[in-house]
Structures are given as structure tokens and as C-alpha cells.
């Protein structure tokens, strides 16, 4: 990795202990896999974040926002440029007007989805059942439109505010955002060509009011089910493939193809849920990618269905 000395010096001077160089991404992803990021910064204030983004744009340095790293596979050669983690700022969750009929919540992009679900349960707000047990952050889960069979982030978003590559802010209503199954397209007029993705700072969500006790009961049942059906104790990136169109889910197809327990190196198709690849300890990105290829080609040979990757592959 070859990050310029002057670049390192500026980052160190500006962010002190909140910047790390050649930081293994295996420490920042739920898969526990991945080579080093040239630099990883955790800004403490919005102003620091804006300064960093503007400076990176001026210097022509790539930067990538990172949520909880729970839907990501980083290759062994790591990430060029700066990974920006928002877990030091933009983590608050507040309700704007607790007396209104429909609840409007403002949630920081760096807040954990689990914290948002806990807030909703505590305050008797419904609409987030689909998010129970999803391990991401608010920002990351909006970017990939995280969800389950009973809903996704697009269902609860009212608007989001973003930081654009050159340092300006925009509020985007849901109608301006093109959400699709496990993804989001930015409005065409955002002019992002040379600066990469906008960084989501916070979101306004609309939730319904409900009975606290009923909501808690439902949530406990959903979590029990999730824990029984998914390998939540193992390192993984959640479901590895998107569900294809049609009756059968990716997990069902992989299971029917007899691939549960199949492994390459320390990467293994989970015996609990076949659409999860788990890291038994020392898996490399190459192991995971080779196993994904094997799964994809086996399912294609058997069922003529092409599985599409759900996890984001970077590096
Ligand atoms: N199934 C099998 N074998 C398996 C796994 C599943 O036969 O190894 C069967 C199940 O019995 C069920 C069907 O496949 O009949 C669907 O399984 P499941 O209910 O687990 O749902 P899924 O479609 O596999 C989706 C999301 C999950 C989310 C669950 C919660 C996708 C790709 N996956 O899984 O999201 O947690 O619903 O209901 O949309 C993720 O996105 O990372 C993720 C894990």
C-alpha cells in the first residue's frame, strides 16, 4: 500500500487517534475477512467529516463510507483510499413530535439498526419488524435497501439528507430516490461523476403507533425464529445471494443442490441456512469468492438459475 507521505501527515494532523493506516478490514466486517484499507477515519463531528470529504475530492483520493461492514466482502488486496466510518458521529435517534398521529423519527446514519429497532419497541412504534436481527447501520441499510420478506428500508423512509462529494448537502425526498430490491439509485441530477457516492448523514422515517406489549411479543417471536433459522453466532455477511425471481429462494436452491457444509479453505456453506457462507476462522476473500463461484455454477447446472451476488464486493 502506498499512501503518499503528505497525505498521511495531513490525516494524522487533522484526525489524530481517529485515523488508522493500513487497517485490516477483517476488523471492520462481520465476515472477519479482508485486506487493509490505506486509511480508515472515524470523524467525531460533522465539520470534520465535511472537511475530510472536501479534501479527499481536491486530492483525488477515493473515499468509501462504511456502516457496520455487515453486508460486505473485502478482497485480500484491500481498499485504496480512505474508508470513512460514521460510528463516532451521526448516531442519534430522536422523535420529532411525539404527539403526532404518525411518528416521524430522525435517525443518524451511524446508528445501528438494532438501536433503531430497540427505540421503536420502547416507544411503541411499528413498521420495523423486517429490520429485527439485521446487523447493519441506518446509513448502510438504506444504501442497500436492507430488508427481509416482510419489508425493506424503502417502506419506512420519508427523506434522507446526504453529503455530496464536493461538500454540499442535499435533502432528498423518497420520491427522488429509486429504491429497488437490495439497492438504491441516486437522482440523475446529483452530478457525482468524479467524487463517488454521496454519504448518507441521516434519515427521516415514518412509523405507525402501536401497542407496546404486542410489538414486543411479535419482536421476540421474530428474533426467536431468526436465531433458529440463521447462523447468527458465526462470522458471515448475511445472505450472500439475492433471491431470484420465482418460487424458490436462493437458500432453498443451494440447499436442494446439496451444498450445505461444502467448504473451500475456512469458508463454508452454512449447514443452518444455505444462503449464508460462514467464516470458520481463517477464511480469506479468495476462499469465499471461490466457494461463491462453486455455488453459483452448481445451482446453474442443476436449475438453470443464475444467482446474483447480494453482498457488496470491494477492493
Ligand atoms: N430454506 C431452505 N434451506 C435453507 C434456507 C432456507 O430450504 O438452507 C427455505 C426456508 O425453509 C424457506 C425459504 O427457503 O421456506 C426462505 O427462507 P427464509 O425464510 O430464511 O428467507 P430467505 O429468503 O432465505 C430473506 C432475506 C434475509 C432475511 C430473511 C428473514 C434475502 C436474500 N434474504 O431470506 O436477509 O433475514 O428473509 O425472513 O432477501 C440478508 O439480506 O442478508 C438476509 C439474511
DSSP symbols for the chain = ----HHHHHHHHHHHGGGEEEEEEGGGTSTT----EEEEEE--SSHHHHHHHHHHHHHHT--EEEESSS-SEEE-TT-EEEEEEE-TTSS--EEES-TTSSSEEEEEETTSBHHHHHHHHHHTTEES-GGGTT---BHHHHHHTT-EETTEEGGGTEEEEEEE-TTS-EEEEEGGGSEEETTEEEPPGGG--TTT-PPEEEEEEEEEEE--HHHHHHHHHHHHHHHHHHS-TTSEEEEESBPPPSSSS-HHHHHHHTT-TT-EETTEEE-SS-TTEEEE-SS--HHHHHHHHHHHHHHHHHHH---PPB-SEEE-
Residues 237, 166: Cα–Cα separation, whole Å: 31
* CB atoms closer than 10 angstroms to residue 306: 11
**Nearest residue by C-alpha to atom 2 in ligand 1:** 252
Which pLDDT belongs to residue 26?
A: 97
* pTM, entire model: 0.93
Residues 207, 242: Cα–Cα separation, whole Å: 27
Q: Is 239 a residue of the active site? A: yes
Distance (Å) from CA 39 to ligand 1 centroid: 35
* CB atoms closer than 10 angstroms to residue 60: 9
Pick out the chain residues at pLDDT < 50: 1
* CB atoms closer than 10 angstroms to residue 286: 14
Which pLDDT belongs to residue 142?
A: 97
Q: Is 245 a residue of the active site? A: no
Which pLDDT belongs to residue 27?
A: 97
- Which residue from 130, 143, 249, 311 has its CB within 8 A of the most atoms of ligand 1, so it is best to mutate? 249
Which pLDDT belongs to residue 190?
A: 81
Convert the pLDDT of each residue in 222-273 to its tens digit.
999 999 999 999 999 999 999 999 999 999 999 999 999 999 999 999 999 9
Catalytic residue among 23, 202, 268, 310: 310
Residue matched to cell numbers 402501536: 210
Using an 8 Å Cβ cutoff, are 172 and 187 in contact? yes
Residues 274, 251: Cα–Cα separation, whole Å: 5
Which pLDDT belongs to residue 165?
A: 85
Q: Is 23 a residue of the active site? A: no
Residues 177, 160: Cα–Cα separation, whole Å: 9
Catalytic residue among 182, 202, 268, 296: 182
Amino acid at each position: 500500500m502506498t499512501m503518499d507521505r503528505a497525505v498521511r501527515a495531513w490525516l494524522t494532523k487533522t484526525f489524530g487517534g481517529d485515523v488508522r493506516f493500513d487497517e485490516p478490514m477483517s476488523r471492520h466486517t462481520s465476515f472477519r475477512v479482508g485486506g487493509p484499507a490505506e486509511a480508515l477515519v472515524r470523524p467525531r463531528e460533522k465539520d470534520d467529516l465535511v472537511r475530510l470529504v472536501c479534501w479527499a475530492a481536491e486530492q483525488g483520493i477515493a473515499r468509501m463510507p462504511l456502516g457496520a461492514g455487515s453486508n460486505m466482502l473485502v478482497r485480500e488486496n484491500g481498499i485504496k483510499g480512505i474508508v470513512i466510518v460514521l460510528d463516532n458521529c451521526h448516531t442519534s435517534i430522536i422523535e420529532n413530535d411525539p404527539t403526532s398521529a404518525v411518528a416521524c423519527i430522525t435517525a443518524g446514519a451511524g446508528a445501528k439498526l438494532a438501536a433503531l429497532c430497540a427505540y421503536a419497541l420502547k416507544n411503541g412504534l411499528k413498521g420495523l419488524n423486517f429490520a429485527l436481527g439485521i446487523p447493519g447501520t441506518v446509513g448502510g441499510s438504506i444504501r442497500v435497501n436492507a430488508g427481509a420478506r416482510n419489508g425493506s428500508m424503502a417502506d419506512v423512509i420519508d427523506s434522507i439528507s446526504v453529503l455530496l462529494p464536493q461538500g454540499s448537502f442535499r435533502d432528498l425526498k423518497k420520491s427522488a430516490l429509486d429504491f429497488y430490491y437490495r439497492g438504491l439509485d441516486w437522482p440523475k441530477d446529483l452530478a457525482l461523476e468524479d467524487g463517488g457516492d454521496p454519504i448518507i448523514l441521516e434519515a427521516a422515517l415514518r412509523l405507525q403507533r402501536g401497542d407496546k406489549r404486542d410489538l414486543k411479543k411479535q419482536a421476540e417471536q421474530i428474533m426467536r425464529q431468526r436465531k433458529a433459522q440463521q447462523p447468527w453466532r458465526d462470522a458471515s455477511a448475511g445472505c450472500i445471494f439475492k433471491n431470484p425471481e420465482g418460487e424458490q429462494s436462493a437458500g432453498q436452491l443451494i440447499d436442494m443442490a446439496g451444498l450445505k457444509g461444502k467448504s473451500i479453505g475456512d469458508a463454508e456453506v452454512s449447514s443452518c441456512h444455505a444462503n449464508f457462507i460462514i467464516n470458520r476462522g481463517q477464511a480469506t476473500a479468495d476462499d469465499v469468492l471461490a466457494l461463491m463461484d462453486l455455488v453459483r455454477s452448481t445451482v446453474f447446472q442443476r436449475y438453470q438459475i443464475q444467482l446474483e451476488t447480494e453482498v457488496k464486493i470491494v477492493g
